[in-house]
Amino acid sequence: MTRTGTETIKAETIKVETGAVNCDGGGGALGHPRVYLQIKPEVGAIECPYCSRHYVLSEAARAHPGH
C-alpha cells in the first residue's frame, strides 16, 4: 500500500516573550497577510490560523502576571 501525501508537516514552533504576537508567515510560500494574535497567559500558546505556526509564550513571560 502506498502512502503518498501522508507525511505530517511539522509546523514551526516559535517562542515569544510577549503574549501579543503578529505573524505574516515569514514570507515566501507560507506568507500570508499579517495577523495579530493574542496568547492567553493561562493557555500559553497559540496557533496561527493561516500558516499553523505555533507560538509559545516563554516561561519567563508567563512568570510575570500581566497587571
Interacting residues toward Zn ion by CB under 5 A: 23, 25, 48, 50-51, 53
- Provide the Cα torsion 32, 34, 35, 39; round to 10°: 100
Alpha-carbon span 19 to 22, nearest angstrom: 10
Stretch (H or E) spanning 61: helix 59-63
Nearest distance, CB of residue 59 and Zn ion, angstroms: 23
List the one residue out of 49, 54, 48, 43 whose CA is nearest residue 10. Answer: 54
Q: Smallest distance, Å, CB 10 to Zn ion?
A: 15
Provide, rounded to whole angstroms, the least separation between the CB of residue 23 and Zn ion: 3
Nearer residue to Zn ion within complex by CB, 23 or 39? 23
Q: Which residue is nearest to Zn ion (CB)?
A: 48
**CB-nearer residue toward Zn ion: 2 or 36:** 36
